[in-house]
Amino acid sequence: MILVLDVGNTNIVIGVYDKKELVTEWRISTQMIRSADEYGIQFLNLFTIARIEISQIDGVIISSVVPTVMYSLEHMVRKYFKMDPLVVGPGVKTGINVKYDNPREVGADRIVNAVAAHEIYKKSLIIIDFGTATTFCAVRKNGDYLGGAICPGIKISSDALFQKAAKLPRVELLKPSEVICKNTVTSMQAGIVYGYIGQVDYIVDKMKNEMLALGEEDILVVSTGGLAKLISEESKNVELVNPFLTLEGLRIIYEKNKK
C-alpha cells in the first residue's frame, strides 16, 4: 500500500492506495504550527479507524504548496512510517514536459493534476482545480504542460465581500434557483456563485481558443477540488468532475519513480 498526501493551503487530503485502488481517503485541516508528533498521532488515529496497519504502508508521496508544514510532515513520515517520503518537485519523474518560463514556479498540485489527467484521459486538456485558489491548466495531447491561469477561489471571493462590506452577512455557498433575488442572502449567493461560473467559462473559452490555434482538437475540460461540483454542474464547458484527480496523480507519480 502507498500513502499519498496532497497538502493545500486549507486542507491536507490523504489517500491510501492498494495498487490502483483507493482504499480510503481523509481530509484534515492544514495547521502551520502542528508538530511532527501531533501529525503522527492524528495519522495513527485515522489508520486505527480505517483498520489499516502502519506496517502495511510501503511508500509515501507528498505534494505541497505550503512549505511551512513540510518539515513536520516529512519528519512525521520518517518517525512513524520508518521511511523517507517522495516529495513532488524538481527531479521527480512526471511524464509531462513543463513549458513554463520557469518550471520551478509551477505549483506541485498543478503538476500532479496534469499528470493524472494526461494518464487517465489521453486527450488535449483544460484542468480546473477549485481550491483556496482556483487554477486553470492547459495540457497538450502529447503531454506538454502549456501553463494556465490562477484566480482567487470562490470562498476567498465570498469572504472578501463579507469582510469589506459592513452590512453584508457571511453566506453559505449555494445556488439560488433564480438570479433576480428578493433578499440580501440569496442576492449575494446568486452574485457569488453565478458570477464565478461566468468567470470560469470565460477563462476556459479563452484557453480553448488559444489551444485550438496551436492545433489541439477535442479539448476535454475536467475539474477537481472541494467546490468542483458546485461550479461545474452549471458550467457550459466542464465535462467531467474527478474529485480524486490529485490523489490519482500522486499515485501515478509514485509508480513512475518507484525503484
Q: Which residues define the annotated binding site for substrate?
A: 100, 107-110, 184
Active site residue 109: yes
Same domain? For 216 and 163 the reply is: yes
Say what the pLDDT of residue 235 is: 94
- Please check whether residue 97 is in contact with residue 120, taking contact to mean a CB–CB distance below 8 angstroms: no
Angle, nearest 10°, between helix axes 36-50 and 70-80?
60
Report the distance separating Cα 143 and Cα 94, nearest Å.
Answer: 10
Q: Give pLDDT, residue 259.
A: 64
What is the DSSP code string of 183-238?
A: SHHHHHHHHHHHHHHHHHHHHHHHHHHHHHHTT--S-EEEEESTTHHHHHTT-SS-
Residues annotated in the binding site for ATP, as ranges?
Answer: 6-13, 132
* 216 and 147 co-located in one domain: yes
DSSP 108-128: HHHHHHHHHHHHHH-S-EEEE
Domain final residue pick, 44, 67, 87: 87
Do 128 and 66 sit in the same domain of this protein?
Answer: no
Confidence (pLDDT) at 197: 95
- Cα 209 from Cα 226, distance rounded (Å): 27
End position of a domain, from candidates 32, 61, 87: 87
d(CA 129, CA 256): 23
Q: Are residues 166 and 72 in the same domain?
A: no
CA-to-CA separations, 117 to 25, 43, 53, 100, in angstroms, rounded: 19, 28, 31, 18
Binding residues: 6-13, 100, 107-110, 129, 132, 184
Query: Would you give per-residue pLDDT tens digits along the chain (259 residues)?
Result: 999 999 998 899 999 999 999 999 999 999 888 999 999 999 999 999 999 999 999 999 999 998 899 999 999 999 999 999 999 988 899 999 999 989 888 989 999 999 999 999 999 999 999 988 999 999 999 999 999 999 999 988 888 888 878 778 888 888 888 999 999 999 999 999 999 999 999 999 999 999 999 999 999 999 999 889 989 999 999 999 999 999 999 999 999 998 6
Residue 6 lies in a domain: yes
Q: If you ran DSSP here, which 8-state letter would residue 174 be given?
A: -
| E strand or H helix at 129 | strand 125-130
Residues 44 and 122 in one domain: no
Q: Verify that 28 and 111 share a domain, yes or no.
A: no
Q: Which of 58, 109, 144, 218 does the annotation list as catalytic?
A: 109
259 located within any domain: no
How far apart, in whole angstroms, are the C-alpha atoms of residue 70 and residue 205? 36
Q: Which residues are annotated as a binding site for K(+)?
A: 129
Number of domains in the chain: 2
In 3-state terms, what secondary structure has residue 13?
A: strand
CATH number at residue 179: 3.30.420.40
Phi and psi angles of residue 183, each rounded to the nearest 5 degrees, phi first:
-150, 165
Q: Dihedrals φ, ψ of 97, to 5°?
A: -110, 110
E strands, 140-179, are 144-152
Find the domain containing 73 and state its range: 2-87
Query: Can you spell out the DSSP letters for 32-96?
Result: TT--HHHHHHHHHHHHHHHT--GGG--EEEEEES-GGGHHHHHHHHHHHS-SPPEE-STT---S-
With cell 479539448, the residue in question is: 219
pLDDT of residue 160: 86
Q: What is the pLDDT of residue 169?
A: 82
d(CA 78, CA 92): 19
Last residue of a domain, one of 87, 109, 144: 87
